[in-house]
Amino acid sequence: MLSTTKSLLSLTAADIMSREIVMIPREMSLQGAARMLARASVTGAPVVDSRGRCIGVLSATDFMHWVEKDPQSKKPQGDSATPMCLAWEIVEGAGDRSCCCVEEYMTKDPVLVAPGTRIGELARLMIDAHIHRLIVVDPASQQPIGIVSSTDVLAVLARLDQMQLATQEHKAAEAPKEEPAGAIY
């Protein structure tokens, strides 16, 4: 996120978006996509077609839906407290599961925004769609140029709060000290 003197409500997607993004080809296997996301330490990314246009989003939620649809996951697990699988744990050579294509499990019709979309609109879009990331695209090409996550929006609020506290502390330190009434020197 850029350091800015803009007011909170005038901040835009371009001001707060992450510019280094992972893009997943639509033909990639789920296993390959899981590895790509894990290596980048992210929980979701845009899925792109052969021209680089965003056609979907693949997120941790999509992997949960994949596991729910897997016939092997319907078998009793024994201890209900034991997790079905750990975060991003996808077994090598697990039969047909490794052949699943990203396009089959991605969230289609991604919520795309322009770089000039204001922060209030970004928050509303995430809330209304029950999602945690918006894909910022170049308006002409529809190619992803950034991502705004719910964490990015919260980081703006936290940074502004921290700046406000620092300003208050600075003003308090510079303020002249008042002498107690009736003090004799």
Lowest mean pLDDT among 14-18, 31-35, 70-74: 70-74
**Domains along the sequence of the chain with CATH:** 11-169 (3.10.580.10)
**For the segment 122-178, what is each residue's pLDDT rounded down to a tens digit?**
999 999 999 999 999 999 999 999 999 999 999 998 988 888 887 777 677 777 777
Q: Where are the beta strands (DSSP E) in the chain?
A: 24-25, 44-48, 54-59, 107-108, 112-113, 133-137, 144-149
Residue 95, pLDDT score: 46
**For the segment 72-109, what is each residue's pLDDT rounded down to a tens digit?**
655 555 555 555 555 454 444 444 444 588 999 999 99
3-state helix, strand, coil in the chain (%, to 5): 40, 20, 40
Please report the DSSP string for 66-84 in residue order.
HHHH-GGGGS--SSTTS-S
Query: What number of helices (H) and strands (E) belong to the chain?
Result: 6, 7
Mean pLDDT of 46-64: 94
Residue 171, pLDDT score: 74
Query: Which residue would you say has higher pLDDT here, 65 or 142?
Result: 142
Residue 130, pLDDT score: 94
What Rg, from alpha-carbon coordinates, does the chain have?
23
8-state DSSP, 99: G
Buried b / exposed e across 15-42, counting CB within 10 Å, b at 16+?
A: bbbeeebbebbbebebbbbbebbeeeeb
pLDDT at 183 over 50: yes
Compute the Cα dihedral for 128, 130, 38, 2 and give only its sign: positive
Q: 3-state class of 136 per DSSP?
A: strand
Does the pTM of the predicted model rise above 0.85? no
**Residue written as token pair 């940074």:** 159
pLDDT at 182 over 50: yes
**Residue written as token pair 């845009």:** 46
Query: Which residue would you say has higher pLDDT here, 56 or 183?
Result: 56
Compute the Cα dihedral for 121, 153, 49, 104 and give only its sign: negative
Residue 72, pLDDT score: 62
pLDDT at 68 over 50: yes
Amino acid letter at 40? Answer: A
Helices 60-69 + 30-40 axis angle, to 10: 150
